[in-house]
Amino acid sequence: MTKVIEVRDVYQAYGDLEVLKGISFDVHEKEVKVVFGPSGSGKSTLLRVINMLTPPYKGEVLLRGESLMAPNANLSKLRSRIGFVFQHFNLFAHLKAIDNVSIGPRQVLGMTKEEAHDVAHDMLCKVKMEDWGHHYPAELSGGQQQRIGIARSLAMSPDVILFDEPTSALDPELIGEVLQVMLDIAKEGTTMIVVTHEMGFARAVSSEMIFMDEGVIVEKGTPQHFFQNPETERAQRFLLRLEVLYGQAEDEKNSE
Amino acid sequence: MGLYFFAIFLGLGLGIGFAIVRQYGGSLTSRIATGYIEVFRGTPLLAQIFVVTLFPPALNAWLVASGMAPIDILWRIFLPDPFGNPSIVLNTRILLCAITLGLNSAAYQAEFFRGSMGSISTGQSLAATSIGMTRRQLIRFVILPQSLRRAIPAWSNEAVYLPKYTTVAYLVGVEELFAWAKLAAGRTFLTIEVYVLIAIVFLVLISIISWILEYTYNRVKIPGI
Ligand SMILES: Nc1ncnc2c1ncn2[C@@H]1O[C@H](COP(=O)(O)OP(=O)(O)O)[C@@H](O)[C@H]1O
Ligand SMILES: [Mg+2]
């Protein structure tokens, strides 16, 4: 299988604070990589490094073999092929939902107004928001805003989409609708890197999970590996804590 | 009035420009913009007008002293008057006053716009960048449409204060409305009435401006915010 993203030994620091200390992994076509770990371990920073929102001071990131750090790299062009879904949605407040989705195809991909509108409409259908296209972000619930955020990324037909805790800012009753959309697009073969603590999602679609702590990858493995016998003590402790936090629902699903 | 409209629109154009450069320019250009804004906001308008209107005679004195021909600063354009009293509509002094008022207003307006740009979440900038927008597209399609809307209330203050500031120009001999008032008062001997009329003209003008801006603000407001 072809490699979509290669992360090679990246380091990142904010001042004296080392946040990423030599992270490497590959993401293959149609793979769903789940990244998890304690708050402050550098997960968001890792995603921002991958599309160069904050370039690393050492190491390299490649998109289909093309370095994003080459001096002559056209970063805007490369970024348009890497979707990003944010924890706090970050929709454009002055644009209707459908225009949030069409602005990328229209202005970045250079489609005509009609083409961009058609793409946006298709994407709204995909996230089940076709009836809400004419509402402004502030008129939508968090779950609806996040689905628009996903549609905005999908509309660019990216090679890979990065998700940064897409459901952690949502009220519990709204998490399901967003996870359902993510499951749908994962099953369609979208290549994804997902930072999340939703272990049900990980179990359903993740090919490999990465446990991060203090800027390093502590342990990698399949969902089965992590849920049955995580090797490191740090991963064991963290998963246990998650179970306490996210409660019985997970256990019940296990026993079914 | 011409002075006012010239100054407010020159200030608007330059103000937006300086705000963008200060917020999104390179480190040198943004420092230049900051310097400009601070100098014009930090010194009295009257001093600025004096300096600028004294500049052409000073320049000519220097040109003559160094053996060069002075530039013509005495040109003027007249508006024909049916009563046979032609009034000056434009000369060096009026033009320089208008430009200074515009430059001064630009500094204040730049700060309004910068304030409203800063209030747009950095998240939206990240989102725009992440779908592949260039910095220029980010400013054009995300920052400006929102910050211009948000700046309208603060901008109304500037639009309402500026007519009053234009009267400062009177002190250096740009007479505008007051010249007309003096003339009318001299002809009719209704001095008080004429000045009351001027006050009313100002009041009406300012009310109309406020109303237009408030109407515009409500029209372009983003629903739900
Ligand atoms: N812009 C920033 N400036 C300074 N420190 C930051 C910045 N962003 C994140 N950090 C710090 O870097 C560390 C990792 O942050 P982050 O990548 O957000 O972790 P996570 O997403 O895993 O919670 C934290 O200690 C955080 O305080
Ligand atoms: Mg984070």
Ligand 1, residues A45, A51, A194, A211: which to mutate, most atoms within 8 A of Cβ? A45
> For residue A34, what is the enclosing H or E element?
strand A32-36
Task: Tell me the ligand closest to A19's alpha carbon.
Answer: 1
Residues A150 and A166: their CA atoms lie apart, in Å, by 9
Residues A210 and A203: their CA atoms lie apart, in Å, by 13
What residue type is A83 in one-letter code?
G
Residues A148 and A130: their CA atoms lie apart, in Å, by 10
Q: Report the DSSP pairing between strands A58-63 and A66-67.
A: antiparallel
What residue type is A200 in one-letter code?
G
Binary contact (B130, A76; C-beta < 8 A): no
Q: Whose structure tokens read 């342990």? A: A219
Does the pLDDT value for residue A143 go beyond 70? yes
Task: Write the DSSP symbol of residue B83.
Answer: T
**Cβ of A45 below 6 Å from ligand 1:** yes
Confidence grade of residue A3 (pLDDT, cut at 50, 70, 90): very high
Task: Write the DSSP symbol of residue B143.
Answer: I
- In this predicted structure, which of A3-17, B121-135, B149-163, B194-208 has the lowest mean pLDDT? B194-208
Task: Tell me the ligand closest to A20's alpha carbon.
Answer: 1
A86: chain B residues, CB-CB within 8 Å: 123, 126-127
Tell me what the mean pLDDT of segment A198-216 comes to: 95
Tokens of A163: 């998700």
Task: Provide the 3-class DSSP secondary structure of residue B141.
Answer: helix
- In this predicted structure, which of A34-48, A172-186, A194-208, B97-111 has the lowest mean pLDDT? B97-111
Distance (Å) of CA A44 to CA A40, A158, A163, A165, A166:
9, 19, 9, 9, 11
Angle, helices B2-24 vs B92-118, to 10°: value is: 40
Residues B139 and B142: their CA atoms lie apart, in Å, by 6
Cβ-Cβ pairs closer than 8 A, A with B, add up to 81
**Cβ of A196 below 6 Å from ligand 1:** no
ipTM for the assembly? 0.91
CB atoms closer than 10 angstroms to residue A39: 9
Q: Distance from the CA of B223 to the center of ligand 2, in angstroms?
A: 30
Ligand 1, residues A14, A41, A57: which to mutate, most atoms within 8 A of Cβ? A14
- Name which residue leads in pLDDT, B79 or A140: A140
Tokens of A95: 């644009």
Percent of chain A scoring above 90 in pLDDT: 92
Tell me what the mean pLDDT of segment A226-233 comes to: 92
Distance (Å) of CA A71 to CA A56, A63, A75, B133, B207:
14, 15, 10, 19, 56
A153-179 pLDDT, tens digit per residue, is 999 999 999 999 999 999 999 999 999
Q: Report the DSSP pairing between strands A216-221 and A192-195.
A: unpaired
| Average pLDDT over all residues of chain B | 82
Assessment of whether the complete model's pTM goes beyond 0.90: no
CB atoms closer than 10 angstroms to residue B26: 9
B12-60 pLDDT, tens digit per residue, is 999 999 999 998 888 899 999 999 998 898 888 888 888 888 888 888 8
Binary contact (B127, A86; C-beta < 8 A): yes
- Name which residue leads in pLDDT, A144 or B196: A144
CA atoms within a 13 Å half-sphere pointing along the CA-CB vector of B143: 26
- Name which residue leads in pLDDT, B102 or B62: B102
Residues A96 and B67: their CA atoms lie apart, in Å, by 66
Q: Which CATH number fits domain B2-220: 2.40.240.20, 1.10.3720.10, 3.20.20.10, 2.40.50.140?
A: 1.10.3720.10
B89-101 pLDDT, tens digit per residue, is 677 777 888 889 8
The reported pLDDT for the residue numbered B174 is 58
The reported pLDDT for the residue numbered B33 is 93
